[in-house]
Structures are given as structure tokens and as C-alpha cells.
Amino acid sequence: MKIIPAIDIINGKCVRLTKGDYNTEKMYNENPLEVAKSFEDHGIKYLHLVDLDGAKASSIVNGKVLESIANNTNLTIDFGGGIKTTSAVKQAFELGATQITAGSIAAKNSALVFDWVREFGPDKIILGADVNNRKIAINGWQESTKIELDDYIKSYMAKGIQSVICTDISKDGMLKGSSIELYQQLRTKFPALKLIASGGVTSIQELDKLKAIGLEGAIIGKAIYENKITLKQLEEYVN
């Protein structure tokens, strides 16, 4: 199972939010590259990089951060936030992203994201499924839709999507555990899906549970920054 630390960017700095609420912003480091290098120094190979300013602006804002991390580390980066157009997808790849995560745009304009899957390849586009009570949420999680999670995943798998980051909003940033039951259900229903857990991962023991379910990866955010999970522990885990 891939261990995927998260770096969320506001004003070029590394921050975390709680349940996606911008009013809960907490800054952890002014230098995201420094954070990314510390991950790499501990044997980590993957990074989930989110441009929170971009998510608000509906265009990439912190592209220089992506470019800096891509140019100065060997991390495999999946990038999200502000990717609403084909030109933005191309920009993200040109700046060094290996994959992009299609979030709100995938719920609002599925035809466009289907085009991206065809143009760039299904291995380059990750579906972002942010859920509240099994319904998809959009626009920085501030808006709920009537789209059922299972139907959403099914429709995208039919078009070739292989990987899904599923975030339970109620768990995100709470440090109270992730949605094990939800992920178990999704693994049973979609056994071929490369499912990546996100939100609430708090302990090494929880990573063992997620791995046992058969998840492709686990995104870890606040638990690292609040020292609930140390980089030394993650180094031992990935090795």
C-alpha cells in the first residue's frame, strides 16, 4: 500500500484545514519544498499536493510550488486544486505533476473529464470522490450534491478511470480515524478499483487495517503535522 503524505498550499505555505473549512487554516511550514524533501529523506515516494488557493480561484495559483517540488525531489506527485480546464491539466503536467486529481469538475462536467481520460490516459487522471453521507460534495466541500458515491464511481470506471481518492469529509482533519467501513464496502463492490483512503488517518495501526482491506494507498495529512504519526514510523513502515 502506498503511503502518500499530503501538502496543502495557501499563499505558497504548507497548511491544514479541518473538514475543508478555510476558517480553520493552520500554517505548519512556510517552505513546502522543505516538507517534501523531509518526506523523501524518510523513504517516501509519493506526494498528494493540493492548491487550496487554486480550488477557490478555479485555476492553478501555486504552480511554482508544484514546479519547485517536482524539480528538486523524485517524488511522484498527484496534484489537485483549480484544475477546471484542459489547459490547466496540461499546465499541471508541464510543471511536474505525474497525475492530476479531478474533484468538483468531475461532478459538474463529466464529459470534459471523460475527454481528459481519453487524451492523457486513465493512469494520469485520478477521480476525487469527496463524500458526506455517501453523497458527493463539491466546491471545497461547501456544497452537497445528490450524486450517490457508488453511482459516481461506477460511471467513471465505465469510462476507464482506475484510481479514486475517496475522502470522508466528516473525518478530514479530525484525527479520529478514517472510514474503514466505507472503504470495505467500496472494495467489495469495486474489487478492480485502485482505492486511496483520505481523511482521518491517525495511527500506524490504522494503516495496517487499510492495507488489510486491500487499498491502493492512504493519504496522511494532519497526523504527520501534529506528530500523531512520525516520519520515522513511516520510514519503517514503507521499508
* Residues forming the active site: 8, 130
* Distance separating alpha carbons of residues 199 and 191, to the nearest angstrom: 21
* Distance separating alpha carbons of residues 161 and 143, to the nearest angstrom: 24
Q: Which residue has the cell 492495507?
A: 211
* Distance separating alpha carbons of residues 207 and 19, to the nearest angstrom: 21
- Relative to beta strand 76-80, strand 99-102 is parallel
90 strand-pairing partners: none
SS3 7: strand
